[in-house]
Amino acid sequence: MGLHWSDWPADVLATLRRGAGIPAHPLALDQHRKLDNLRQRALSRYYIDAGSGGLAVGVHTTQFAIREAGLYRPVLELAMRTASDWTPKPLLMIAGLAGRTTQAVAEAHVARDLGYHAGLMSLAAMKGASEDELIAHAGTVAREMPLVGFYLQPAVGGIVLSASFWRRFAQIENAVAIKIAPFNRYRTLDVIRGVVEAGAVDRITLYTGNDDHILLDLVTPFTVMLRGKPVTVRIRGGLLGHWSVWVKTAVDLLDRLHAVITGDAVPVDVLRSTRR
């Protein structure tokens, strides 16, 4: 039986929906390009101690080649075991899911069995598929565990995805969040439009992955018209490679934004900080 987001502990769900700072966990290798368990565990402990709301493992720098090297399960297991041993804090644990449907489902099985809460779904391997095929793929994987959609910038292998795709993705009941990382303002708006049109703003939490636009994503209110009425949503947190360094500073900044931004109002000093 698959995992549904309603099965999560309440405090984990609250962490996701409030918006968290989640680093894309790097991969620690020794001088022989083998997994360095000691330093890999140290990285996880650093992120936890710095206040991150969770860990994203098997993505970004822990995505490249770990599958071919047979390291997918060991890397995910090491991070989960380290987190469980190190803190009682409720962490949102996200596993990268890659490949075509058979592979992505198999990886979801591994992640779910290890105790991960959600899968960050890369569509890079689905290049050339139709929108219907992409949605069928996502729906199949979502039967295994909750999904975080991922709009990866096309310059590094992502697929251009329309507002229609994101509307249909957001209608998948076990989709819980979207990492927006197309590095393009118009494509970012396509994601937001899709979520609003799906009527899923209360279920889908938006996270920035736009390394070139982090603060502005977090302070901007996005308003979309739905049946003649404005609907305003915000990007609540970040799931970023950039946030795998200087993590405490990033977490403190996100906490500050959550504390001072209400409605459409953004304090002038916060706006000034986005220009530095």
Q: What angle do CA 83, 116, 204 make, to 5 degrees?
A: 115
Q: So what's the pLDDT on residue 271?
A: 65
51: pLDDT confidence band, cut at 50, 70 and 90? very high
Give me the mean pLDDT over the 57-64 stretch.
Answer: 80
Q: So what's the pLDDT on residue 65?
A: 82
Q: So what's the pLDDT on residue 7?
A: 97
* Distance of alpha carbon 12 from alpha carbon 149, whole angstroms: 18
198's tokens: 């799906």
Give me the mean pLDDT over the 230-253 stretch.
Answer: 94
**Whether the predicted pLDDT of 30 surpasses 80:** yes
Q: So what's the pLDDT on residue 155?
A: 86
If you write DSSP's letter for every residue of 196-215 in order, what string do you get?
A: HHTT-TTTPEEEE--TTSHH
- The ranges assigned to domains in the chain are 5-273
9's tokens: 């502990």
Kindly provide the b/e burial profile for residues 72-108, where b requires at least 16 CB atoms within 10 angstroms of the residue's own CB: bbebbbbbbebbeeeeeebbbbbbbbbeebeebbebb
> Which CATH superfamily includes the segment(s) 5-273?
Aldolase class I (3.20.20.70)
The helix (H) or strand (E) run that includes residue 55 is strand 54-57
60's tokens: 């970004």
For 96-153, how does the pLDDT look when each residue is reduced to its tens digit (9 = 90+)?
999 999 999 999 999 999 999 999 999 999 999 999 999 999 999 999 999 999 999 9
Give me the mean pLDDT over the 146-165 stretch.
Answer: 94
pTM of this structure:
0.94
Give me the mean pLDDT over the 43-68 stretch.
Answer: 91
270: pLDDT confidence band, cut at 50, 70 and 90? low
4, 66, 24, 112: CA torsion to nearest 10: 10
* Distance of alpha carbon 111 from alpha carbon 161, whole angstroms: 26
Give Cβ neighbours of residue 45 (< 8 Å, ≥ 6 apart). Answer: 82, 86
Q: What angle do CA 228, 217, 142 make, to 5 degrees?
A: 75
Burial class (CB in 10 A: 0-12, 13-18, 19+), 120: buried
Q: How many CA atoms lie within 13 A of 158 on its CB side?
A: 21
Give Cβ neighbours of residue 57 (< 8 Å, ≥ 6 apart). Answer: 25, 75, 76, 79, 80, 93, 94, 95, 96, 116
